[in-house]
Every structure is written in structure tokens, then in C-alpha cells.
A = this chain, B = another copy of it.
Amino acid sequence: MSEAETGTETKGETGTETEHGAESEADGDLRRVGANPDFWYPVALARRVRPMRVVAAVFADQRIALYRGRSGAVHALEDRCAHRQVPLSMGVVEGDTLRCCYHAWAYRGDGRISQIPYLSKGDGRPPRGVRGYPVREAYGLVFVFPGDPEKAEDTPLPELPAFSSTTYKTMTFSRTVRCHYSFMHENLLDMNHQFLHRGVVGKLHPQLLGYETSPRSVEARYLFTHAGGKRNPGAGLLAAEGIRGGDSADVMTIRTEYPYQTLDLVPENADHPAFRLWAVYVPVDAEQRTCHAYGLLMIEKPRVSAALQLAWPLIRRFTERVFAEDRKAVEAEQRAWEEQGEDRNHEVFPLILDVRKVLRTNGVPVRGRR
């Protein structure tokens, strides 16, 4: 979707954003908006779905059994035997079928029943099967399409050219976070939260250069200058020629393109990113008060590529520490929401008001249980 098609409007820092000053009360509570299921969502790391094995996955309380059959392809079935609702993820892979552990009903990869071992003539008419999900393997992740299966074909997977580029190396993240996915989008887009990471990254001064909003996206550009204080070696390594001393000035571009989020860091004087992050926050429970964050951090290889190898554990430790601090904040936000019973945020940063609108208008009503 090009920016022209979606009506993107570019705003400078001095633009009039009075229309963002308040969200209408009729907008409803953002934390009760469900993630739109008509997109591809990762629900497992591909390597965790080993050959001839089945694992349990989930999208917003839709339990999904992922299994890799003899053909090597991964199948995704509703994780409930049609018979007695026992999870099929407790079952056994036989060839390209999945057999329930309890009474041994067998299912094909599309969810149709292939065998009920003991069925007799006089017995009741069995059900036809369980729901099968469109499934694709990419970027080391297993994606499913939890929404209307007819839309799956025409809905593209996210495009991550850097993933397969020889000039980038990818670090994969997979973490459960006890908060609504919207807190994650707001966290990353509002770089004024660098105070939270002062112990890890030192004093960073983010300056908003401008941002753009479309019905499906918000993109913000920040100029980052380092204002002294502790420096983390991991941070330095991460942005090899990027975030440096007090004299550096790097440009960070963060974009929510529903339902995904990306972050690119282009060092001063460079013409391409030193690293690129792609992330998505997959709801876990029915109320979507917990999400599972999948992240792909694609880091440019230095000229001596062995250096990256050596730096890898340091970079991972650094990113884990930053993520742990973010998690602490967003989980505190979720707890506050649960205690207050509603969203009482008082937002003043215009682009965050914009991303809230994007998440609200592209989302669906949360189902909840019963």
C-alpha cells in the first residue's frame, strides 16, 4: 500500500495537532480492542516444531496445534479434538496425520478426520473434523492466519529483505509480556521513554524530527544524540558505526504498520541502516491482556564479519536488558489498567494519539470468554 493510496499526511514538529488534543470518549477503551485476525501472525519459532512432533500454540485464546508431518510441512489445527475437546497437541504425529492421544481419532493436515478406529455401523454420526488454519513458514517463524481463511491468499507476509541479505545477520526474540499489545506499540514509538533505560544506555537525547500518519500506519523519525553518562558496550557494538560519543547524531525511524512494527537506525553520514528491527505482539488470552512478542533484529555485518560473531553475546545481553526494562514498564501499565478498570492515560504526545487511533480503527472487538 503506497502512502498516496492511504492518504498519508506529513507533519512537522510545529504543525497544528489540535485535533489530537483529546480522544473522544465514544472511541471506547483501546485496551479492549482486539488484534485484527486477518493478518499473518507468528505463533512459534520454526525450529521448535521439530519433525514428527506437535506443539501447542495460541492466538487470542484460539488454541492451535502445530505439527510437522513426514512431508516436512507444518500444519496448524484447532487444538481440540472434535470428540472430547482434548488438546490435539497432546497427540501423536503419524505420517502426515495427527492422532488424538485419548481415543485415537486421526486428523489430516486440513483438519478433516481421517479415521476413528472403533466406529461401528450403529454408532452416532461423527463430526467432520476441526478447523485448519492457513500456515506459512518464513524468517524462522511459523505464521498462521487466524482470521477469515479466504483472505489468507491475498494477504502478504511481511517483507523483510534484510533477513535474507548477506550483509545482515538476524537475532531472534520470543518473549511473553503480560500486557495488551497496544502498550508495546506505544512504548517503541514514544522515544521520550529513554529515561527508562538511563542505566543501560546512558543519557540519550531523542529529538522528534517529524512523523507521518496514515489510516494504517504511523512513522516517526528521531534524531538521537548522546548526552554523556554511562555507555553500554553492547549498545556501541550494536550500532557499530552508529550510536557513538557525544558528537554522534543518528536517525531512528520507528513505524507501526498495522499490525507490525519496525525500527531502523541510520548512523550519521550513513545511507543505510546499521540495524533494523521487525516486531509483532501476538495476543495470547481471550481478553488480550497478555501478548507474545516476536522480534527479528537484523544487524549489519561489519567489514570483518568475525567481529560480529564475537560481539553477538554482548549485543544479546544489551537488548535483553533494554527489553526487560520496557517489559517492567508496560506490565506496570497493564496492572494499572486492570486495577482501574479502564484506560486513564492522559497522552500529550501527538503521534502516540495517532497510533492509538490506528490500533483502534484497524482492530476488532475483543471477544473475551463467553
Which residues of A pack against B, CB within 8 Å? 13-18, 20-22, 61, 63, 80, 82-87, 90, 99, 101-104, 116-127, 190, 192-193, 195-196, 206, 208, 328-329, 332-333, 336-337, 339-341, 344-350, 353, 369-370
Known: A192-B117, A192-B118. A125 touches B348 (CB 8 A): yes
| Contacting pair B350 A122 (CB below 8 A) | yes
Partner of A341, one of B82, B102, B337, B370: B370
| Contacting pair A126 B83 (CB below 8 A) | no
| Contacting pair A126 B195 (CB below 8 A) | no
| Contacting pair B86 A123 (CB below 8 A) | no
Question: What are 7 A-B contacts with C-beta separation under 8 Å?
Answer: A84-B345, A85-B340, A90-B329, A101-B329, A118-B192, A124-B348, A339-B369
| Contacting pair B123 A350 (CB below 8 A) | yes
Give me 7 other A-B pairs in contact (C-beta within 8 A), A85-B336, A102-B193, A103-B195 excluded.
A80-B344, A84-B336, A84-B347, A85-B340, A86-B333, A87-B332, A90-B329
Contacts of A101 in B (CB 8 A): 195-196, 329
| Contacting pair A329 B102 (CB below 8 A) | yes
Known: A102-B196, A103-B192, A370-B341. A13 touches B348 (CB 8 A): no
Chain B residue with the shortest CB-CB distance to A17: B122
Distance, CA A69 to CA B198, complexed state (A): 21
| Contacting pair A22 B346 (CB below 8 A) | no
The list of the 5 closest CB pairs from A to B, nearest first, reads A85-B336, A104-B195, A124-B348, A341-B370, A118-B192
| Contacting pair B21 A346 (CB below 8 A) | no
| Contacting pair B333 A83 (CB below 8 A) | no
Chain B residue with the shortest CB-CB distance to A116: B348
Contacts of A117 in B (CB 8 A): 192, 195
